[in-house]
Amino acid sequence: SAVISQKPSRDICQRGTSLTIQCQVDSQVTMMFWYRQQPGQSLTLIATANQGSEATYESGFVIDKFPISRPNLTFSTLTVSNMSPEDSSIYLCSAEGVAKNIQYFGAGTRLSVL
Amino acid sequence: AQTVTQSQPEMSVQEAETVTLSCTYDTSESDYYLFWYKQPPSRQMILVIRQEAYKQQNATENRFSVNFQKAAKSFSLKISDSQLGDAAMYFCAYRSAKTSGSRLTFGEGTQLTVNP
């Protein structure tokens, strides 16, 4: 299994600012994923991040709003840009282990935008 | 596109009893993986159990077992001897086996309450 450290665990931000969320994996992984989860709801995939190439975004999510970096096989960041109260949510990163095609998740970042 | 449906938004069970959570999915693929994840209030998504579609044998992990019915596209989770720590949101998820790094498709979740 892979252990994923995500930070910050929570933050309160002002409208119009940006927040960068970091995701560190304890082993090399091919694919990393970023999800958004509204309280009490399911997970929605924002984008898939492959090392050395641009992230692939899902419908409804754009790079200008959610830029992603994947500089190596153990690390990725998601930036939530020009935030509005509608961006208040939980953001989770995950990574797929090399065996068994299992995704492991970080503990999530609870973002509140005022 | 694949879809995953969990028809039970909430379930409750008495401690030490057995509960079954339902999940159905829709796909045209023959090779895929199915998962149950648990999300307690801490928000950490924890893998409970994994099933490979080409395996007829139902997966089991201690008190957790699945009833995988491929033809019916059904994948239910049975929790035996329920414990207070089992209380959480449970998500059923589908992953294609086609390519590396395929996305997970999640159901809406079932909130499980365990009563002492």
* Averaged pLDDT, A48-71: 91
pLDDT of residue A40: 86
Give B70-80 pLDDT, tens digit per residue.
999 999 999 99
pLDDT of residue B32: 93
* Averaged pLDDT, A70-94: 95
Give A8-18 pLDDT, tens digit per residue.
999 999 999 99
pLDDT of residue A100: 65
Mean pLDDT across chain B: 94
Residue B37 has pLDDT above 70, yes or no: yes
Residue B84 has pLDDT above 80, yes or no: yes
Percent over 90 (pLDDT), chain B: 84
Residue of B nearest to A47 (CA): B103
Task: Residue B102: list chain A partners with CB under 8 A.
Answer: 101
Kindly report each contact of residues B100-105 with a partner whose C-beta sits within 8 Å and lies 24 or more positions away, as own/partner: B100/A30, B100/A31, B100/A96, B100/A101, B101/A30, B101/A31, B101/A48, B101/A50, B101/A96, B102/A101, B103/A33, B103/A45, B103/A48, B104/A33, B104/A43, B104/A45, B104/A94, B104/A103, B104/B35, B105/B2, B105/B3, B105/B4, B105/B25
pLDDT of residue B2: 85
The whole-angstrom distance between A83's CA and the closest CA on chain B is 22
Mean pLDDT across chain A: 92
Q: Is the dihedral of CA B96, B101, B106, B112 positive or negative?
A: positive
- With an 8 Å Cβ cutoff, are A43 and B106 in contact? yes
Residue A97 has pLDDT above 90, yes or no: no
Cβ partners under 8 Å of residue A72, min gap 6:
A51
- With an 8 Å Cβ cutoff, are A107 and B103 in contact? no
pLDDT of residue A2: 83
A114 confidence band (pLDDT: 50, 70, 90):
very high
Task: Residue A92: list chain B partners with CB under 8 A.
Answer: 43, 45
pLDDT of residue B101: 59
Give A35-58 pLDDT, tens digit per residue.
999 988 999 999 999 877 789 999
CA distance B17 to A62: 46
Lowest mean pLDDT among A17-21, B48-52, B100-104: B100-104
